[in-house]
Structure 1
Amino acid sequence: MTIFGTIRAPRELIFGAGQRNALGQVASKLGRRALVVTDERLARDPDFLRVVEQLETAGVSVKVDASTLPDVPVETAVTSADAARSFAPDLVIGIGGGSCLDMAKCVAVLLTHGGHPQDYYGEFMVPGPVMPLIALPTTAGTGSEATPVAVLSDSERHLKVGISSPFIIPTVSICDPELTLTCPSSLTAIAGADALTHAIEAFTAIRRDPVPGLAQERVFVGKNATSDHFALTAIGLLWEGLEAACTNGDNIEARAKVMLGATTAGLAFGVAGTAAAHAIQYPVGALTHTAHGAGVACLMPYVMAWNTPAIGPELDQIAKATGLSSPTDVIPAIAGLFGRIGIPKTLRDLGLAEDRLDWVAEQSCGIARLIQNNPRPLDLADMRKLLDAAYSGDLASLEMN
């Protein structure tokens, strides 16, 4: 087998407790007028206010935009960019959860290149570099601080949409696990389960023929040597830290493992991509309005069970990374972990109506970018079988297919 790999990452990634206090020094080397994108709750947080003061002390003029909403409605990014133009920022800083970071990415694109978010949907549609962008995550889940992705919600399409381009990877990311200490247990669980799903789907994605130019033709190239390294590291870190962080939010060591796991999972799926669990969650989320992390994690054991014939070596490596005695223990162990931290076990538990399963199957199969990344093919009939199992909680039926 030819060894092939690619890494797309921030120019600088700084990780560690207290490292948020380096923001002023970092920002002052990249710009003089910073648009700081956050949400209304964080804008009143003492840690946030200290960070803004730190920027001003470093000689950086600051405009705070606290308009970020969950799932980033497209029109809010347009409004934010329009409101910022008179300030003429030369630097965008995203501080907050995944939505704040995605909002910052989209606003940086609009301020640099103009147009509308719809102009940049899909892969490689951003025409060139954007203004310097700094990410300071306060949750550990999406990995947006390390990925070429910004996810938005478009009311006209009734589904989430993505801008995928190496140009929107943050210039610098500062990951400080102390910022996650106040994150409630339920959000810690949902975000961390999202990160573990990212890592598993990246590690078990399809492996494509590494023809020259693959990484220029696809943002998400599939499983490869470097993404495997980051994915397996993330799986080990999250396995060790996630339940402990949910049980005791003051456990800074567990918090650090979860945050580093989320970031390394971002480095993995930012090039390898995700697969069927994410494809299914898009229509499920549109119908149930449940948190993305809860949806993909609920689906992950069923997708793994379907994929089992195609991922034997990967299950063996995951077993070793998590200290499990056998590859056959991996899927029940992942499902057990998710259950213990409060992730719903079935699509029924997520609130999906049974009479919408056909529609979900059709919509999921239509998200070709993700379905084609799945290691085992899924046609419409197979997708319906998978959804039936995920609705009823019948993992065994998939393991027999």
Structure 2
Amino acid sequence: MALTRILPSRAARATSLLRAVQFTHPPSCPCHSNPSHHHPQAINQARRHLATPLDTSQQKEYAFEMAASSIRFGPGCTSEVGMDLSNLGAKRVMVVTDGNVRKLGVMKTVTQALQQEGINFEVFDGVRVEPKDSSIREAIDYAKASFREGPDAFLAVGGGSVIDTAKLMNLYTTFPEAEFLDFVNAPLGKGLPIRGKLFPLIAIPTTAGTGSETTGTAIFDLVSKRAKTGIAHRNLKPTLGIVDPLNTRTMPSAVHASSGLDVLCHSLESWTAIPYNERVPRPRNPIERPAYQGANPISDIFSLKALRDTVKYLPRAVKDPEDYEAQSQMLLAATLAGVGFGNAGVHLCHGMSYPISGQNPGYKHPGYAVEAPIIPHGVSVAVTAPAVFKFTGASNPERHLQAAEAFGVDISNVKLESAGEVLSEALAQFLVKLGDQPRGLKHLGFGREHVDQLVEGTMPQARVLMLAPSLDMGDADVEREQLRGLFEEAMEY
């Protein structure tokens, strides 16, 4: 039935031929017991029609895959990492971190664990917060030049920037002849699939936000295009994520807040993304099936749980640095959200966030120990969220109302046509109560004169925009107008 719907002429011809072969002659036909004797030309013609590869470019997806790193969660489990690498047979481990994390207790624990197992390792601590393609290239060059034979395993200790950088060091060390843009998401790069396993990578997150320890995604600034992009493929995901609540206890309140906002938007976007079976095109080969597939029954479980826990525990974690229960639950929520969005994907908040951070007019978020201007990733995604979910509400009112209910809204008497507005208001109130958050693009230094450039920086983000409900990607002019309206709406809330 599905074949007939999609390719009526081809399927109908083939079916007609097969029926002619089967039913034109009565069962008493003397040669009926020898089907190959009957009309061999018609049979072969029918087989050719059915064997011809289908044009999948306009077909909707019909399957989804569930892929995530193995995860170990528990206070103190960082001390096991030396044994893990030994069990993997690692002899030359590249430890990837940044200058701040290298000074923390987690690195002492890691170092002792590696030394106890007699593992040879080097430390690269040059990771940049919110990495650019230049810093990624420097890290890759360092990895290629390390040891005599190169590393045979990677260990990332830090936040999402560290883990993403380690993923790319691993990728381009495994495929040393590849050009940098070969695997980068199209249209900014070639978007080639990763056709092989990488070296083992263990990720130890020290922030509760990105969920990068579970996903096959790595994000960076492509400076020449003034936009964030990245690489996404299942083979990029870590072998193991060691999620230890002891490692987030040193996070400043501002980092708790911005990291938690990333979890919030991960869960909301993956929960409201288009369903997986509405995504086009269907892949010609399973290796081409994207990591971001659209909402599906398995990702939904993780996304909604992460949303509810973030609403419950993030305000506590930001308010009280000694609330270790809240910190622990936020770290777990970040991992749960990572499993959810790592398979379903994100959409407008993230697509719009990339030019926001890449085109920063000079804003420096308080609480971050960096000299350069910075819009933390969680801030860049959350600042558009009230506008985004007001816009997407009509696409699936029931889901938007369920999300609003997670914020404590009584939805019993809310009309479906008000779903987007209700969720938008709930989000805005949550962000305001969280405190010290810029209440719109205006507070980051953007004005209406920046909108066109922000729109153009968003347009190439097809990998995530294709999952956005209510966005018309079939007409570039209409899409630009919709994005322009969203950026204008997001100026202030």
- Name the TM-score, length of structure 2 as normaliser: 0.75
What does residue 399 of structure 1 align with?
Answer: none
Which secondary structure state, in structure 2, belongs to the residue aligned with residue 135 of structure 1?
Answer: strand
Which secondary structure state, in structure 1, belongs to the residue aligned with residue 437 of structure 2?
Answer: coil
What does residue 397 of structure 1 align with?
Answer: none
What does residue 6 of structure 1 align with?
Answer: 65
In 1, Cα distance between the equivalents of 2:445 and 2:238? 36
1:21 correspondence with 2:106:
no
Structure 2: which amino acid aligns with 1:103?
Answer: T
Residues 130, 377 of structure 2: 8 Å contact kept: no
Q: 1:265 to 1:293 in 2, by over 3 A?
A: same
Larger relative contact order, structure 1 or 2 (CA cutoff 8 Å, min sep 6): 1
Q: What is the deviation of 1:230?
A: 0.8
1:224 correspondence with 2:300:
no
What does residue 335 of structure 1 align with?
Answer: 428
Q: 1:366 to 1:68 in 2, by over 3 A?
A: closer
Give per-residue Cα distances to partners, 1:52-97, cap 9 Å, x unaligned: 1111102221111111111223322333223325363211000001
What does residue 125 of structure 2 align with?
Answer: 66
Q: 1:386 to 1:73 in 2, by over 3 A?
A: closer
What does residue 76 of structure 1 align with?
Answer: 138
Equivalent of residue 384 in structure 1, options 456, 475, 484: 484
1:310 correspondence with 2:395:
yes
Q: What is the deviation of 1:23?
A: 1.3
Q: 1:338 to 1:310 in 2, by over 3 A?
A: same
Q: What is the deviation of 1:361?
A: 1.9
Structure 2: which amino acid aligns with 1:362?
Answer: E
Q: 1:87 to 1:69 in 2, by over 3 A?
A: farther
Which secondary structure state, in structure 1, belongs to the residue aligned with residue 230 of structure 2?
Answer: strand
Residues 204, 375 of structure 1: 8 Å contact kept: yes
Which secondary structure state, in structure 2, belongs to the residue aligned with residue 131 of structure 1?
Answer: coil
What does residue 445 of structure 2 align with?
Answer: 351
Q: What is the deviation of 1:320?
A: 4.2
Which secondary structure state, in structure 1, belongs to the residue aligned with residue 93 of structure 2?
Answer: strand
In 1, Cα distance between the equivalents of 2:192 and 2:209? 24
Q: What is the deviation of 1:131?
A: 0.3
What does residue 183 of structure 2 align with?
Answer: 120
What does residue 328 of structure 2 align with?
Answer: 256
Q: What is the deviation of 1:322?
A: 4.3
Which secondary structure state, in structure 2, belongs to the residue aligned with residue 130 of structure 1?
Answer: coil
Structure 2: which amino acid aligns with 1:42?
Answer: V
Deviates more, 1:170-179 or 1:150-159: 150-159
Residues 36, 94 of structure 1: 8 Å contact kept: yes
Deviates more, 1:72-81 or 1:134-143: 72-81
Mapping 1:151-190, distance limit 5 Å: 151-190=219-258
Which residues of structure 1 form unaligned runs of 5+? 394-401
Residues 4, 224 of structure 1: 8 Å contact kept: no
Equivalent of residue 215 in structure 2, options 125, 136, 147: 147
1:294 correspondence with 2:379:
yes
In 2, Cα distance between the equivalents of 1:343 and 1:185? 12
Residues 63, 277 of structure 2: 8 Å contact kept: no
Deviates more, 1:51-60 or 1:72-81: 72-81
Q: 1:111 to 1:175 in 2, by over 3 A?
A: same
What does residue 155 of structure 2 align with?
Answer: 93
Residues 149, 162 of structure 1: 8 Å contact kept: yes
In 1, Cα distance between the equivalents of 2:80 and 2:105? 17
In 2, Cα distance between the equivalents of 1:362 and 1:167? 30
Deviates more, 1:139-148 or 1:357-366: 357-366
Q: What is the deviation of 1:19?
A: 1.5
Equivalent of residue 238 in structure 1, options 294, 305, 310: 310
Which secondary structure state, in structure 2, belongs to the residue aligned with residue 151 of structure 1?
Answer: strand
What does residue 396 of structure 1 align with?
Answer: none
In 2, Cα distance between the equivalents of 1:356 and 1:325? 38
In 2, Cα distance between the equivalents of 1:278 and 1:219? 15
1:104 correspondence with 2:166:
yes
Deviates more, 1:357-366 or 1:21-30: 357-366
Structure 1's consecutive aligned runs of 4 or more residues displaced over 6 angstroms after TM superposition are 210-215
What does residue 369 of structure 2 align with?
Answer: none
Structure 1: which amino acid aligns with 2:82?
Answer: G
Residues 154, 161 of structure 1: 8 Å contact kept: yes
Residues 133, 170 of structure 1: 8 Å contact kept: yes
Between structure 1 and structure 2, the one with the greater Rg is: 2
What does residue 95 of structure 2 align with?
Answer: 36
In 2, Cα distance between the equivalents of 1:278 and 1:285? 11
Q: What is the deviation of 1:382?
A: 1.9
In 2, Cα distance between the equivalents of 1:41 and 1:140? 16
What does residue 352 of structure 2 align with?
Answer: 280
1:360 correspondence with 2:457:
no
Residues 287, 352 of structure 1: 8 Å contact kept: no
Which secondary structure state, in structure 2, belongs to the residue aligned with residue 36 of structure 1?
Answer: strand
Structure 2: which amino acid aligns with 1:14?
Answer: R
Q: 1:392 to 1:42 in 2, by over 3 A?
A: closer
- Name the TM-score, length of structure 1 as normaliser: 0.92
Count of residues in correspondence between the two structures? 391
Which secondary structure state, in structure 2, belongs to the residue aligned with residue 156 of structure 1?
Answer: helix
In 1, Cα distance between the equivalents of 2:458 and 2:150? 41
1:200 correspondence with 2:258:
no
In 1, Cα distance between the equivalents of 2:286 and 2:410? 37
